Chain A
Amino acid sequence: KQEVTQIPAALSVPEGENLVLNCSFTDSAIYNLQWFRQDPGKGLTSLLLIQSSQREQTSGRLNASLDKSSGRSTLYIAASQPGDSATYLCAVRGGDSGYALNFGKGTSLLVTP
């Protein structure tokens, strides 16, 4: 079964720093990988979707990369802001999971003013 791991589990940085969140997965036969943001008590907001044939995707200050062969993805956040404070989740579709996504447990990010 596909296992998705996110490190670190929690991260605190001062405003303005560039930061990297990590995601690893055990089965490299994936269809795509998606990064989400979740604010406390709310649903998940899609940030970036990377198809298996792609190496990276960018949206504003966010850049996500995918290395299927090593089973890794990173989410890069440039010039972090207090409003970026949230939990970031990585999810992978593929391997034996078929249509559904397998989620990591997330990285809880706190950006302090």
Chain B
Amino acid sequence: DVKVTQSSRYLVKRTGEKVFLECVQDMDHENMFWYRQDPGLGLRLIYFSYDVKMKEKGDIPEGYSVSREKKERFSLILESASTNQTSMYLCASSFGTGNTGELFFGEGSRLTVL
């Protein structure tokens, strides 16, 4: 079975702190994604990556950056956390260089910024 593992299920941070959310997948997938999920707004794409060291902005990249140094790992970075970044963050991965791969999600990381 595909496994997408997010390093932290729950985090509490202070405004202005730098936050790292880590995601690892064990199926050699080319594509990896970061979404955030908020009540009433649904899932929104922050960034995605289709190869090592490659990244593309999603719909809401402001205030975030990403890093993909190895194929299996995709990190989301909040350079200076703000209260409006309190959310559930979901990492996902899919196989293939085309657009047909099934998407698999991790368990999510719930971030609270005080």
* A105 CB contacts on chain B under 8 angstroms: 40-42
Stretch at the interface among A11-19, A20-28, A38-46, A69-77: A38-46
Is B99 interfacial (CB 8 A cutoff)? yes
Do B58 and A32 touch across chains, with their CB atoms under 8 A apart? Answer: no
A34: interface (CB < 8 Å): yes
Residues of B within 8 A of A36 (CB): 105
Q: Which residues of B line the A interface, CB within 8 A?
A: 4, 6, 31, 33, 40-43, 45, 48, 50, 56, 58, 90, 92, 94, 98-100, 102-108, 110
State whether B90 touches A44 (Cβ < 8 A): yes
Determine whether A101 belongs to the interface, using a CB cutoff of 8 Å to chain B: yes
Q: Are A34 and B102 in contact (CB under 8 A)?
A: yes
> Given known contacts A31-B98, A43-B108, what 7 new A-B pairs fall within 8 Å (CB)?
A34-B102, A43-B6, A43-B107, A46-B102, A99-B50, A101-B45, A105-B41
Interface residues of A (CB under 8 A from B): 31-32, 34, 36, 41-46, 49, 51, 89, 91, 93-94, 98-101, 103-106
- Verify A32–B90 contact, CB threshold 8 A: no
The answer to whether A32 touches B99 (Cβ under 8 A) is yes
Interface residues of A, dominant DSSP: strand
**Chain A proximity of B18: nearest CB distance (Å):** 24
Q: A99-B48, A106-B42 given as contacts; is B106 within 8 A of A94 (CB)?
A: no
- Give which listed residue, B31, B43, B103, contacts A46 with CB less than 8 A: B103
| Contacting residues, chain A, for B99 (C-beta < 8 A) | 31-32, 93-94, 98-99
Residues of A within 8 A of B40 (CB): 105
CB distance from A103 to the nearest CB of B (A): 4
Which listed residue (A34, A41, A94, A104) contacts B103, Cβ 8 A? A34
Contacts of A41 in B (CB 8 A): 108, 110
User: Is B104 in contact with A46, judged by CB distance below 8 angstroms?
Assistant: yes
User: Which residues of B have CB within 8 Å of A98?
Assistant: 56, 99
Q: Could you list some 21 contacts between A and B, CB below 8 A? A: A36-B105, A43-B4, A43-B6, A43-B90, A43-B108, A44-B90, A44-B92, A45-B105, A46-B103, A46-B105, A49-B102, A89-B43, A94-B99, A98-B56, A98-B99, A99-B31, A101-B103, A103-B43, A104-B42, A105-B40, A106-B42
